[in-house]
Amino acid sequence: METPQTPLEFLRRARKVHPYRQAVVDGELRFDYATFGDRCDRASAAWARLGVGPGDRVGTISPNTHQHLEQFYAVPQLGAVIVPMNYRLTADDFVYLANHSGCVVLCVHADYLELVDRVRDQMTTVEHFVALEGRADGWLIYDDLLADAPPTFPAADIAETDLLAINYTSGTTSKPKGVMITHRNAWSNSVGVLVHWHMTPADRYLWTLPMFHANGWTFTWTVTAVGATHVCLRKVEALAIYATINREEVTHLSAAPTVLIAIANGPEAERKNLRKGVKVVTAGAPPAPATIERMEGDLGWHITQVYGLTETAPLITICEPLPAHDALTLAERAQIKARQGIELITSGETRVVDEQMNDVAADGQTMGEIVARGNVVMKGYYNDPEATDKAFAGGWFHTGDAAVVHPDGYIEIRDRFKDVIISGGENISSIEIEGVLLRHPAVLEVGVVGMPHEKWGESPNAFVVLQPGQQVTTEALRLFAREHLAHFKVPTGFHLVDELPKTATGKIQKFVLRAGKAGIAAQ
């Protein structure tokens, strides 16, 4: 009587229970769950006609469109594996990902057809190139394939330990690694999210987070699980977000802190009229308490921080509110909400350990590495046993994140271990310094890194983006930091920059800052 734990069950149920409930909004298009499910089935049938079967890889290069969302069901229904690619990468990157994963079909949005066309002959395993939107010579057309496909497909016998997706890491220090996510990984993450962050069939989820990023943090399936509505957003810009939230009566969204900063600092006239009560999950980098306070105080939104990695499908902790938090001030709650929190009920076990794998003291001060094991942890890195063995040393997945444990058991990240600044023998958290500087009214964004120092070996340096129309001297920023930080933590260098280098998912590329390539405008 056992059935596999797979997110494909979510669509089966949604079609049965909510066939006429709105499933997808994409611009002017509206699909109910019956129609959405039929489109996914016909896409499966189309891929099967092209020879796609169990274990085959199907790659996607697309922003958040309904065609892209359909592939998260159409591909795995065949027992095949979806390979969502970061659409902001270069042509050479696409060649590497397609060849490394062994894609046999590559689905590409209209905006990237020309880019891929230039390197098609280098993609040695791809047999069929499909235009998800638009038309171009030598490309199969997605809408034509669906129109010609039957409503049924050869169903695969799927085990929950089968691969569902290969998600590639950002590859900031080496070649990207292919994270192998199973059906059980994705199912466990989706169910865990819904236990802690409630959604109902009446809710409407805005796609500000890229679907390619860890399968949209599995919200590609989580929203469907409750019969809620996917609201697609193709370009993540403050005004587009405002307009879509109000027009589509959005209730939920996920976003990296950089997107929250953009929302919180958009044009005031539009921001004042923004829908209240929107529930937000944020991850990707620790949000500053000042950002949380602004979102909850000024906008009346509800911010919940989660934490995880692509390798953990991706979420392993959530900063779950406790009854005791209700008595705190907004500023005090924001400080707690900036923590990564406690384990999700389905994620497994998460610890913070020292180099001997002993749990660190729950004193809010002693740093260790976050390690995890459980049903959300990846199967391994595709075709990379050495990296897999290293990641799973001692029987736990090693995150590389440095954190402390507070007396209440809540975990708080202090840095990536590679980003911890060791100055004069003292460990300094770049995240702590960033959080302080973001409280300055003139500061929009900030990235802090360690740079060589003649006396201290290395010392903190702050790269600061100012709010539009604001001016402040680097000396004023130094004095502000001195008021709120221990002396040895105050950056020795402040650099005003026009923007910070970021990955496609909003993480600051600190290796670029260290290399001095941020377009520094010294004062």
CATH of the domain at 31: 3.40.50.12780
In a domain, 176, yes or no: yes
Looking at residue 496, what is its pLDDT? 95
Residue with tokens 């997107």: 259
Percent of the chain with pLDDT over 90: 74
- Buried (b) or exposed (e) across 485-505, using 16+ Cβ within 10 A? beeebbbebbbbbeebbbbeb
Q: Range with the lowest mean pLDDT among 97-106, 203-212, 374-383, 431-440?
A: 431-440
Q: Tens digits of per-residue pLDDT, 24-37?
A: 999 999 999 999 99
Q: What is this structure's pTM? A: 0.87
In 386-513 the beta strands, taken as DSSP E runs, fall at 397-405, 411-416, 421-423, 426-428, 443-453, 457-466, 493-496
Looking at residue 47, what is its pLDDT? 98
Q: Are 249 and 222 in contact (CB under 8 A)?
A: no
Residues 409 and 432 in one domain: no
Q: Tens digits of per-residue pLDDT, 184-208?
A: 999 999 999 999 999 999 999 999 9
Print the SS3 string covering 499-510.
CCCECCCCCECH
Q: Which domain holds residue 177?
A: 8-187
Looking at residue 286, what is its pLDDT? 65
Residues 506 and 388 in one domain: no
What tokens were used for 494? Answer: 């402040």
Residues 374 and 263 in one domain: yes
CA distance 500 to 512: 9
88 pLDDT above the threshold of 90: no
Looking at residue 425, what is its pLDDT? 65
Query: What's the mean pLDDT in 506-522?
Result: 69
Looking at residue 504, what is its pLDDT? 64
Residues 289 and 349 in one domain: yes
Mean pLDDT of the chain: 92
Q: What's the pLDDT band for 520 if we cut at 50, 70, 90?
A: very low
CA distance 510 to 512: 5
CA distance 371 to 349: 8
Query: What's the mean pLDDT in 137-159?
Result: 96
Is the link from the previous residue into 76 a cis peptide, with omega within 30 of 0?
no
523 pLDDT above the threshold of 50: no
Last residue of a domain, one of 187, 202, 225: 187
Residues 435 and 335 in one domain: no
Query: What's the mean pLDDT in 319-348?
Result: 90
Residues 262 and 400 in one domain: yes
Looking at residue 174, what is its pLDDT? 62
Q: Tens digits of per-residue pLDDT, 388-412?
A: 999 999 999 999 999 999 999 999 9
Last residue of a domain, one of 417, 437, 462: 417
Write out the H or E segment, with its range, that includes residue 386: helix 385-391
Instruction: Supply φ then ψ for residue 54, to 5 degrees.
Output: -55, 130
Strands 204-207 and 252-255: parallel
Number of separate domains in the chain: 3
Residues 465 and 391 in one domain: no
Strand ordering across the sheet containing 443-453: 443-453, 457-466, 493-496
Determine the length of the chain. Answer: 523
In a domain, 204, yes or no: no
DSSP secondary structure of 349-375: EEEEE-TTSPBPPSSS---EEEEEEST
Strands 302-308 and 315-318: antiparallel
Q: Which residue has the higher pLDDT, 205 or 329?
A: 205
383 pLDDT above the threshold of 80: yes
505 pLDDT above the threshold of 70: no
Query: What's the mean pLDDT in 438-465?
Result: 90
Q: Which residue has the higher pLDDT, 289 or 328?
A: 328
Looking at residue 521, what is its pLDDT? 41
Rg (CA), the chain: 23
Residues 242 and 102 in one domain: no
Looking at residue 71, what is its pLDDT? 98
Residues 166 and 242 in one domain: no
